C-alpha cells in the first residue's frame, strides 16, 4: 500500500523549507525597494571637505564667544543665544536632523523676540536622538550638538571648544 509521492508528508516538508526562503527573499527585496536607505552619501569626498568648513565656522563661534541654550517642550523649542562679541541678536538658520528618519528633519529661519529668545513651533514633540545645528544667517559661524530628547534640563550648544 504505497502512496504516490505527492500524497506523502516528507516530500512536501522538504519542498516547503527552500520555498519559504524564496518567499522571504522576495518580501525582503520588496521592503528594501520601498524604503530606500538615505544614510549613505553619494559624494563622500565632497562631504568630507565640507566638514572642514564646518569646523572653521565652529571655531569662529568660539572666537566670538557665542553659545546657545536649547530647551524643548512638547510644542515649542526655545533657543537663548549668548551673543558674546556680536553687536546684536542675528537671524538664525536652525536645523534639527533626526539620526535615522530624514522625513522628520526640521529646518527653519528664526528671528529673536524682544528678550533675545528664538522660538520654534513644533508639529510633534522631539523624541530620540537629534543633531541640532544653529547657523548665523550669513554663514559666518555655527553651533551644534547631538541631543537625546526629551530633555528636562536646557542643553548648551557650543562651537569647537566642547571637544
Tell me the average pLDDT of the chain: 84
Domain 65-162 homologous superfamily, CATH: Immunoglobulins (2.60.40.10)
What pairing do the DSSP bridges indicate for beta strands 92-98 and 128-136? Answer: antiparallel
Q: What is the pLDDT, as a whole number, of residue 62? A: 87
- Residues 131, 123: Cα–Cα separation, whole Å: 18
- Residues 159, 143: Cα–Cα separation, whole Å: 5
Residue 19 has pLDDT above 90, yes or no: yes
- CA–chain centroid gap for 101, Å, is 7
Residue 40: band (very low, low, confident or very high) from pLDDT cuts 50, 70, 90: low
Cell reading at 92: 538664525
- Residues 72, 96: Cα–Cα separation, whole Å: 12
Amino acid at each position: 500500500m504505497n502512496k504516490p509521492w505527492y500524497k506523502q508528508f516528507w516530500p512536501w516538508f522538504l519542498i516547503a523549507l527552500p520555498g519559504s526562503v524564496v518567499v522571504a527573499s522576495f518580501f525582503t527585496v520588496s521592503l528594501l525597494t520601498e524604503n530606500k536607505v538615505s544614510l549613505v552619501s553619494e559624494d563622500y569626498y565632497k562631504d568630507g571637505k565640507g566638514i572642514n568648513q564646518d569646523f572653521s565656522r565652529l571655531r569662529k563661534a568660539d572666537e566670538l564667544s557665542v553659545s546657545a541654550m536649547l530647551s524643548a517642550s512638547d510644542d515649542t523649542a526655545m533657543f537663548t543665544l549668548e551673543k558674546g562679541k556680536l553687536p546684536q541678536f542675528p537671524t538664525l538658520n536652525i536645523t534639527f536632523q533626526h539620526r535615522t528618519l530624514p522625513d522628520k528633519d526640521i529646518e527653519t529661519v528664526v528671528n529673536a523676540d524682544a528678550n533675545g529668545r528664538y522660538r520654534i513651533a513644533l508639529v510633534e514633540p522631539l523624541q530620540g536622538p537629534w543633531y541640532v545645528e544653529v547657523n548665523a544667517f550669513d554663514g559666518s559661524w555655527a553651533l551644534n550638538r547631538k541631543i537625546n530628547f526629551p530633555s528636562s534640563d536646557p542643553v548648551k550648544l557650543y562651537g569647537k571648544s566642547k571637544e
